[in-house]
Every structure is written in structure tokens, then in C-alpha cells.
Structure 1
């Protein structure tokens, strides 16, 4: 019986790991930290797989677990520890100038964790307000206010003018 559950676990997670890693990278902005977030999430879910596998919407549950792991990691003291002064070289991603992308990522990391998660889920993952509210564990109104406040902070940080008409 244990072998069947382990096989079921592996069959579920193996095709989803790249998607979970992509979500974690978008949340934290670092592929190595994303690996840690995904590993912590899947390890926790493995320990509770007997109960977790019976959830109605398992994909949404797992995504929310990744978001929760990211948010709880940001609360820990060790998150603030910087081990090196320079980042390793990374290959450039096409589509946006590297310096602009780095500026946006740096500005995004200055936001509170929940605001950061809301902006990433809304604009990088292109999720609707209701789905983001469910993933982050708050009301749709909170998602809207976190989005508005987060965008305003990013605009101030980046020196970008607000859109005409005050739209966020």
C-alpha cells in the first residue's frame, strides 16, 4: 500500500515540478531560492500525502502551498542574511533589457511579502483576483487594495508616472 501512495505522489508531482518552480521563481526572483521553496513544499506535502491527495482541487492546493511557503520563508530571520556581496552571472532573458528587469525585480523585493505575492500572481501568472485571493488566503477586496498599493509603491520606487485617469 505504501508503494502505491509513493508512486501516486511521484506521478502527480513529476510533471508539475517545472510549473511549481516557475511560480516560485516569479515569487522570489531567484532560481536557487525557488528550488528551496519547491523542495520544502513537496517535502511537507509528501509527509501529509495521505490527506492531501483527497483534496478537491489538488493543483490549487499545491500552488497555495508554494505561496504559503514563500510567505512564511520571508518571515524568517535567515531570509535577511546575505552570504555574498555579488550575485553569480546569469544568462540574459530576452524580451526586456536586463538592467530594467533587474530594477523591477529589486523594487518588487522591497515590497511586503503578501503584496509581492499578489503582484506576481496577478501580473506574472495572470491569475484573476478571485484565484489570487484563494491562493494568498484573503478577500478579493484585499487583493485589489494590495495590488493598488503595491503598484503605487513600485511606481514611486521606479520613478514611473501613474497612468492617466488614476488607473492601477
Structure 2
């Protein structure tokens, strides 16, 4: 027997994007975020795969949220945090592929130096800086996504920026 849907339920069902369509539209954005968080294409792919494999069985609930993109971005951040907690002691640096990330407004040499300096930051500082400046999130949003207090996020960003400035030889001005 067919169930009768209310207008609100019908609108929600019609507005709910199919998981495959949503991934096709948002997958590259998630991969870029994960790449900036991890610094490695392989790790980024693993992090996104983990997040999406957890999102798929819950997609009917996630797609009904006001901002499913934000929810899945948080899943990517959480998957990355879980990954670096597991591998913190076994991490080995890898070279950054040529042309991996394009930043406008700075010379290529400066971009490479900045990226290498970011890779040397502790994972928690790098995550906070990426979410603050790459994803343009506020401190409260970052705190909620990473599960730490807002003061800790501010401290991580501040310490990370100070470390970058010291390594790149820039003044605090």
C-alpha cells in the first residue's frame, strides 16, 4: 500500500540529492580539503573514502540536514584526526607533487616554501590553520569540528602562524 506523503515530506524527498550525484558535485571539494589537511594525495583519498563510506548508510538523514556539505566536511576532518592519531608515530614525510596546489598572489617559490613549512607543523596546528584560512571557518566552527575548545583553536592557529613566520623569516608585522 502506498503511503501518502505530506507536502513538506514530498518537498524534502524531491529536494534530497542522490548520494552519487552529491558526491559527483562535491567530491573534488572534499578531496581538496583532505589534501590540504593531510598533505598527501593518497592520504587525502583515504580520508575522503572513509568519510564517504560512513556517510552513505546515513545519507537519508544527512541529506535532510540544513547543510549536508558542512556535515560531511566535518566527517572528513574527523576522519583525518582519527588517521593522524593512529599514525602519529609512524608518519614519514613525502615530497609534495609538482603543481599540487595553486595559490594566487604569491610567487611559486614562496608558495613551495610556505607549503613545506605547513607540512612541518604539528597536525593539530596545520588542521586549525587549514580550516581557518583555507576553508574560511570561524574559531567556534573549528572548535566544534575538531572537538576542542575555541581557546585551544585560537592557540593552535596563533602558534602555527608564529611557527610559519619564524621559519619563513617574516616579522610579526
Unpaired runs of 5+ residues, structure 1, are 164-168
Q: Is the 8 A contact 2:103 2:111 kept in 1?
A: no
Helix, strand or coil at the partner of 2:18 = helix
Return the offset for 1:31: 3.2
Aligned partners of 1:87 and 1:148: how far apart in 2?
A: 25
Moved segments of 4+, more than 3 Å: 47-57, 86-94
Aligned partners of 1:87 and 1:118: how far apart in 2?
A: 20
Q: Which residue of 2 aligns with 1:93?
A: 102
Aligned partners of 2:86 and 2:48: how far apart in 1?
A: 17
Corresponding residue to 2:136 among 113, 117, 126:
126
1:116 aligns with 2:126: yes
The 1:145–1:94 alpha-carbon spacing in structure 2 relative to 1, beyond 3 Å, is closer
Q: Is the 8 A contact 1:114 1:136 kept in 2?
A: no
Corresponding residue to 1:69 among 48, 71, 79:
79
The 1:134–1:77 alpha-carbon spacing in structure 2 relative to 1, beyond 3 Å, is closer
Structure exhibiting the larger radius of gyration computed from Cα positions: 2
Helix, strand or coil at the partner of 1:15 = helix
Report which stretch shifted further, 59-68 or 9-18: 9-18
TM-score by length of 2: 0.74
Q: Which residue of 1 aligns with 2:91?
A: 80
Return the offset for 1:118: 0.7
Q: Map Cα deviations across residues 89-110 of structure 1 (whole Å, 9 max, x no partner).
A: 4478363322222221121122
Return the offset for 1:119: 0.4
Unpaired runs of 5+ residues, structure 2, are 1-12
Return the offset for 1:21: 1.4
The 1:133–1:8 alpha-carbon spacing in structure 2 relative to 1, beyond 3 Å, is same
Aligned partners of 1:92 and 1:135: how far apart in 2?
A: 24
The 1:146–1:92 alpha-carbon spacing in structure 2 relative to 1, beyond 3 Å, is closer
Q: Map Cα deviations across residues 35-83 of structure 1 (whole Å, 9 max, x no partner).
A: 222112111222444554555542222111111111222223386146x
TM-score by length of 1: 0.76
Q: Map Cα deviations across residues 99-140 of structure 1 (whole Å, 9 max, x no partner).
A: 222221121122221211110111122112222222222222
Q: When the two structures are aligned, how many residues end up with a matched partner?
A: 156
